[in-house]
Chains A and B, each alone.
Chain A
Amino acid sequence: MQILGLESLVFGAEDMAAARTYLLDYGLDERDAGPAGGTYEAADGTSVVLRHASDASLPPSNAPSPNLRETIYGVPSQAVLEEIAAELSKDREVRTDTEGTIHAVDDGGFALGFRVTRRRKFELPLLRFNVPGQSPGRGVNECAASKTEIIRPRTLSHVVYFVPDVKKAEAFYKDRLGFRVTDRFIGLGPFMRPAGTLDHHNLFMIQSFNSHMVGMNHFTFHLGSGHEVLHAGWRFAQRGYKSFWGPGRHIMGSNYFWYFNSPFGGTMEFDADMDLHDDAWTPREMLPGADNSQIFLFEAKDKWAPGE
């Protein structure tokens, strides 16, 4: 089943104004904003959709609001959409909306949608690096550090759920939707990718150990590079947003990360440079904890210069 990856995350917001400003400050483009909410897009059209938590058109909530209300995946064709609908309707309700998106609920209680992808090709300046021993990435006289650099989130990367039964949740995504396990934190849960992407994970699931570990833990878009994570995160912190964890680089997935507090019920991350895997990859298993959660970790500091 060729699911390509995340297309859209739909949130039920309690503070629409703060959520909107947050997504604009994160670097997403606003579309269709109105009293009901808005759509906030990355360069390829993947998005966050904001609605009021009380919006009756949203799927029911599986966690206290604000929280994620639906995860929508993109597929390459109507044929794949029909394949998914046929598979899921074996044991659950599958609803098709007026735009052709199909909706169901997974085995962990998370609302799911699937639609023929609306991702678009985009062009952003090439990211290039000068590395001794390799041909120069940037042109001569081209400068990399710029206070006016424009950093665009490129595509929706991954979402992380707390699930009541991680084995059952893993089996659902593997057996019913063709996801692959790429790596695993022992006792916590699997990193998974749909068959239509090589990205290390679009979905990470964590076993819930108490009634408060529910709903979404965090989500993120891919930026272009580790540099972009540092620069975008730096600017975000300068606007007053509160760093939760980072900047650093994960081991599983190798993605650079920087997590910030958010108005979405979990944290929102800046992410870049994730590993790619295919079916030749053998999943690793690691014990959870600080040492296996990152290869390094830093914290932002005020700007400084010798003599000041």
Chain B
Amino acid sequence: MGPRRIKLGVLADVPEGGAVGLAPSGNDDKVIALKRGDKLFLWENDCPHNHRPLELKRHHFLSPGGAHITCFAHSAHFSPETGLCFAGPCAGQSLTAVPFSVIDGEIWAEI
């Protein structure tokens, strides 16, 4: 048996250069999805600093201008492509990648 797959959404819902929250559970979206130059990145919505969700508001994950993922609790900044925290209280730590596949335009997380 291969990994179990869960459908998180459709690729078309992730805007190029933007970010959205996926996998709602309780109060929080558990996954951050970003598209950068046709490449999709999925990160757990869990800040390495205090292990809280990152966004300011639902789907608002990016710094002004959209260059970085920001944790709006204490302003940790992360690379959208590598998940590395390069500034802030958890500098040097990383967001956790969510393994996924895209099948027929649908995003499936592998767990």
Contact = CB atoms under 8 A, between A and B. Distances in A.
Contacts, number: 66
Nearest to A212: B89
Interface residues of B, number: 25
Contact of B87 (A64, A213, A263): A64
Contacts of B60: 18, 240
15 contacts: A14-B64, A212-B89, A212-B90, A239-B57, A240-B58, A242-B28, A242-B54, A242-B56, A242-B57, A244-B50, A244-B52, A261-B56, A261-B72, A262-B56, A266-B75
B56 A212 contact: no
Contacts of B56: 18, 22, 241-242, 261-263
Given A15-B64, A299-B27, A66 B75 contact: yes
Nearest to B55: A242
A237 B55 contact: no
A28 B53 CA distance: 25
A263 B64 CA distance: 10
3 smallest beta-carbon distances between A and B, as pairs: A261-B72, A240-B58, A240-B57
B82 interface: no
Contacts of B72: 242, 261-263
Contacts of B54: 242, 261
Interface residues of A, number: 28
A306 to B, nearest CB: 20
Given A240-B59, A261-B56, 6 more contacts: A66-B75, A244-B50, A261-B52, A266-B73, A267-B73, A267-B74
Contacts of A15: 63-64
A223 to B, nearest CB: 21
Contacts of B75: 64, 66-67, 265-266
B91 A242 contact: no
B15 interface: no
B88 A212 contact: yes
Nearest to A217: B74
